[in-house]
Amino acid sequence: MKAIIVHTDRNGIDLAWEDIPPLAPGPGEVLLDVHATAVNRADLLQARGLYPAPPDESQILGLEAAGRIAAVGEGVVTWRPGDRVCALALGGGYAEQVVLPEGVLIPLPDNWSYAKGAAVPEVWLTAYANLCMEGAMRDGQTVLIHAGASGVGTAGIQIAREWGARTAVTAGADDKLARCRELGADLAINYKAEDFVETLMAFTGRQGVDLILDCVGGAYLEGNIAILKPYGRLITIGLLGGTTARLDLAAVLMKSLTLKGTRLRARTREDKAEITRQFRDRLWPLLVAGKMTPVVDCVFPITSAGAAHQYVKDNRNTGKVILEVRPGVA
């Protein structure tokens, strides 16, 4: 079977579609024929050697996949060969086949393409886990989502809308801000033209926000701390704007703030299965009914994975960039 193998030389990084040994599912696992996978920022870092895969999991890129089950391992009774599913992968999604634990599988409706299915697992589970579980988002609260037009952001806006929260986002281009408003953002701030702290303070009557989902990190820490209300929560999921900053501990103490960092990839198989179970119970029916939608920006063939990575690196996407592995096959 074929998979993307990363080659690094003095000319840069080459993502090559090459033959690798076949895989087999172990107990409690399934083997999936991958039809589509999707690009995540973690893949860009992993390809550059900056975010190694856990040593006991696949070293191939790819944190999600959609496809058809080819074979099931010992003890798997809920799933059968031929079932169409999408799932969070433990790595290995950029390949013709991937092995997945049965607990992370999500059944794909007949009328969903594999591309649409591949747009769900990583960013919707991240948004759900951090807004609803870690962030304890509640009806009537005000939530700020940085990088609102990202894959995680476009999922998060829709989840916050469904939870009855008031949502503000930041993004760096007017077309991205417009898409965020269409998805349900009550306030969309162009961080390149406005100071998000001032705009949000005016918007909230100087009350601030209850919860922040942040993937910018260092560059936004001071502003994030300033706009959190008492008992506010800051959930850090990325460091696109740097890893270090000065922290005003007096504000953390006086406002009883909670600062958390989380990584979906680092969670155990059991944790991933639990997040998937809650997501399937609480949100998946709304996606299947069309009340929420995964946002797909564009589709590249897997053989153009390098170009897809460059597109994401250039911040050109709104929502997900999909890699098609088996074009045109139902």
Ligand X SMILES: NC(=O)c1ccc[n+]([C@@H]2O[C@H](COP(=O)([O-])OP(=O)(O)OC[C@H]3O[C@@H](n4cnc5c(N)ncnc54)[C@H](OP(=O)(O)O)[C@@H]3O)[C@@H](O)[C@H]2O)c1
Instruction: Select the span of 2-10, 94-102, 142-150, 221-229 touching ligand X (CB under 6 A).
Output: 142-150
Instruction: Give the residue from 30, 48, 51, 14 showing the smallest Cα distance to 239.
Output: 51
Site string for ligand X, 92-131 (x = CB under 6 A): ------------------------------xx--x-----
Is 89 an interacting residue with respect to ligand X (CB under 6 A)? no
Q: For residues 155 and 119, give the distance between their C-alpha atoms in angstroms, rounded to a whole number.
A: 10
In this chain, which of 312, 322, 323, 325 binds ligand X, going by CB under 6 A?
312
Is 238 an interacting residue with respect to ligand X (CB under 6 A)? yes
Instruction: Select the span of 109-117, 166-174, 203-211, 243-251 touching ligand X (CB under 6 A).
Output: 166-174
Q: For residues 11 and 256, give the distance between their C-alpha atoms in angstroms, rounded to a whole number.
A: 50
* Percentages of the chain per state (helix, strand, coil), in multiples of 5: 35, 30, 40
Is 237 an interacting residue with respect to ligand X (CB under 6 A)? yes
Q: How far out from the chain centre does Cα 97 lie? A: 21
Q: Are 321 and 311 in contact (CB under 8 A)?
A: yes
Question: Helix 269-282 to helix 121-128 angle, to the nearest 10 degrees?
Answer: 80
In this chain, which of 178, 240, 286, 288 binds ligand X, going by CB under 6 A?
240
Q: Are 102 and 257 in contact (CB under 8 A)?
A: no
Is 23 an interacting residue with respect to ligand X (CB under 6 A)? no
Q: Two tokens at 252? A: 């953390």
Least spacing, CB of residue 160 vs ligand X, in Å: 15
Q: Two tokens at 139? A: 């009806």
- Of 182-211, which residues contact ligand X (CB under 6 A)? none
In this chain, which of 30, 200, 212, 216 binds ligand X, going by CB under 6 A?
216
Least spacing, CB of residue 153 vs ligand X, in Å: 6
Q: Are 64 and 40 in contact (CB under 8 A)?
A: yes
Helix (H, G, I), strand (E, B) or coil at 136: coil
Is 150 an interacting residue with respect to ligand X (CB under 6 A)? yes
Is 172 an interacting residue with respect to ligand X (CB under 6 A)? yes
Helix (H, G, I), strand (E, B) or coil at 120: coil
Q: Which residue is nearest to ligand X (CB)?
A: 238
In this chain, which of 15, 29, 40, 210 binds ligand X, going by CB under 6 A?
40
Q: Are 298 and 321 in contact (CB under 8 A)?
A: yes
Sign of the C-alpha dihedral computed for residues 239, 311, 111 and 17 taken in this order:
negative
Is 241 an interacting residue with respect to ligand X (CB under 6 A)? yes
Least spacing, CB of residue 150 vs ligand X, in Å: 3
Q: Which residues sit at the interface with ligand X, rule CB under 6 A?
A: 40-42, 122-123, 126, 147, 149-152, 171-173, 176, 215-216, 237-238, 240-241, 262-264, 312, 315, 317
